[in-house]
């Protein structure tokens, strides 16, 4: 029982040490860039087409560097920012996207679902339900 308490305490300390303002704003920023007309505008402006995962990684790293200088972090804070970046990637992919898919599949009206998921994802969900 003592080992379990130690593990839970370590996890709590890790989660509490993350930069949650970075994590939440990073997720919102990536969601906005990847799901709206911004993505198409960036593709036209740069003349390149990148996969979503690479765009998210690039956004996270650039945003982390910007915050590093804006907040006046020291070298010791780089590890915390990097851990927050990795946690945000995992948290977004496994928690938020899974929840959104579940909601779209189990009762989220299509009028709302089309703003949360793209047309291809919605089609896959509706095709799966009709089978």
Q: For the chain, 131 residues long, give each residue's pLDDT as a single digit of tens.
A: 789 999 999 999 998 999 999 999 998 888 888 775 677 777 777 777 777 778 888 889 999 999 999 998 888 888 889 999 999 888 777 776 777 777 766 666 666 665 566 666 666 666 655 55
- Asked if the structure places residue 3 within a domain, the reply is no
Domain coverage including residue 117: 19-130
Number of domain units in the chain: 1
- Asked if the structure places residue 14 within a domain, the reply is no
- Asked if the structure places residue 12 within a domain, the reply is no
- Asked if the structure places residue 33 within a domain, the reply is yes
Q: What is the DSSP string of 2-28?
A: HHHHHHHHHHHHHHHHS-HHHHHHHHH
Closest C-alpha among 43, 75, 81 to residue 63: 81
Let me know how long the chain is.
131
Q: With contact defined as beta carbons under 8 Å apart, do 27 and 94 qualify? A: no
Q: Taking the model in full, what pTM does it have?
A: 0.67
Residue 66: partners with Cβ closer than 8 Å, 6 or more residues away = none
- Asked if the structure places residue 38 within a domain, the reply is yes
- Asked if the structure places residue 6 within a domain, the reply is no
- Asked if the structure places residue 34 within a domain, the reply is yes
Q: With contact defined as beta carbons under 8 Å apart, do 96 and 84 qualify? A: no
Closest C-alpha among 85, 105, 115, 90 to residue 23: 85
Tokens matching residue 27? 């997720």
- Tell me what pLDDT residue 106 has: 67
Q: Which residue has the tokens 């946690």?
A: 87
- Asked if the structure places residue 60 within a domain, the reply is yes
């Amino acid at each position: 029982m003592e080992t379990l308490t130690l593990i839970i305490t370590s996890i709590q300390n890790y989660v509490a040490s993350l930069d949650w303002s970075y994590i939440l704003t990073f997720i919102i920023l990536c969601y906005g860039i990847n799901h709206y007309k911004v993505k198409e505008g960036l593709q036209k402006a740069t003349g390149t087409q990148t996969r979503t995962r690479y765009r998210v990684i690039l956004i996270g790293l650039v945003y982390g560097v910007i915050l590093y200088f804006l907040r006046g972090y020291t070298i010791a804070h780089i590890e915390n920012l990097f851990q927050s970046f990795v946690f945000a990637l995992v948290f977004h992919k496994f928690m938020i996207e899974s929840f959104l898919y579940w909601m779209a599949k189990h009762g989220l009206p299509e009028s709302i679902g089309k703003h949360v998921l793209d047309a291809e994802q919605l089609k896959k969900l509706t095709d799966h339900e009709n089978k």
